[in-house]
Structure 1
């Protein structure tokens, strides 16, 4: 029912569309206007199947979202720490796809030698906060009123999990 594969360049327009679909809610991303496929090329190429995957997710053979692990801070001492990102098309939310995929990418991360995963989440994004808490992520940090979306100051929480 839920499958995934390493994303290809041909998948990037879909990945960008799903990402852009979350902007209007002002809950998921700090971007306030849609991004272009071209602007996401460097980000795309920062991923690799060995230890920084970008997976296209399918539900009943339909593309429904993506999940990735990205390097943190670009310094060698943080090599075993990654940031997780998960974006699902709104029509596929609430089907436990997120839980399934977080579990799968955690299994992958352990095998790849990753020791810690974290996510930056707006505190008012309760679906994401609840997902990560359900998956045993803990609050590692709080950045109060760090973002402003439509004249409203928003908190950013850092949710993390040790894999060792």
Structure 2
């Protein structure tokens, strides 16, 4: 049975495994080297017990199979009404509509928190994520051509998607 709950420190090993799958895939994140749970903790620690920028895990029969979170888009005060949305799924659970479940939950939280906008960045080759964002009302707000390389040396263009919540 699927359920959401706030992430716990004890989830960081599983969260790291899922994130490392994205790194190994090569077209999902600009990180190039797998991380340790301690390295991911540095990134995710700010989301624990943070209702404004939560880190949620998607659980199936007590196994974390995905996660998502809202984060600060930009630290300057004028951007506080905008949050960035991020989500990751275990490779074995992709293509089953679970990304939709995670994104819908984060959209609800963002609206409840009173954010005006959500942004998400993807690579143009990440068609599954791009389609998911468009399906949920996000629009392509811009693209940075050939801005990053994956671990195979391929140049990737980053796309910025945005959604007005108000």
Is TM > 0.5 for Structure 1 vs Structure 2? yes
Question: 2: CA distance between counterparts of 1:115 and 1:17?
Answer: 32
Aligned to 2:37: 37
Per mean C-alpha deviation after superposition, the further-off stretch among 54-63 and 120-129 is: 54-63
Question: 1: CA distance between counterparts of 2:73 and 2:46?
Answer: 12
After TM superposition, the structure 1 = structure 2 runs for residues 1-150 of structure 1, keeping only pairs within 5 Å, are 1-47=1-47, 48-149=49-150, 150=152
What are the superposed Cα offsets for residues 103-156 of structure 1, whole Å, 9 maximum, x if unpaired? 111111111111111111000011111111111110011000001222221100
- After TM superposition, the score normalised by the length of structure 2 is 0.93
Question: 2: CA distance between counterparts of 1:35 and 1:44?
Answer: 13
Aligned-pair CA distance for 1:61: 4.2
Gaps of 5+ in 2: none
Runs of 4+ in 1 over 2 A off after TM superposition: 59-62
Per mean C-alpha deviation after superposition, the further-off stretch among 44-53 and 70-79 is: 44-53
SS in 2 for 1:85: strand
Contact 2:67 2:102 in 1 (8 A): no
- After TM superposition, the score normalised by the length of structure 1 is 0.94
* 1:162 aligned to which of 140, 156, 164: 164
Aligned-pair CA distance for 1:71: 0.5
Q: Does 1:153 align with 2:155?
A: yes
Question: 2: CA distance between counterparts of 1:61 and 1:38?
Answer: 22
Matched residues, number: 164
Gaps of 5+ in 1: none
What are the superposed Cα offsets for residues 75-116 of structure 1, whole Å, 9 maximum, x if unpaired? 111111111111000111111111122111111111111111
RMSD of aligned alpha carbons: 1.3
Question: 1: CA distance between counterparts of 2:62 and 2:156?
Answer: 36
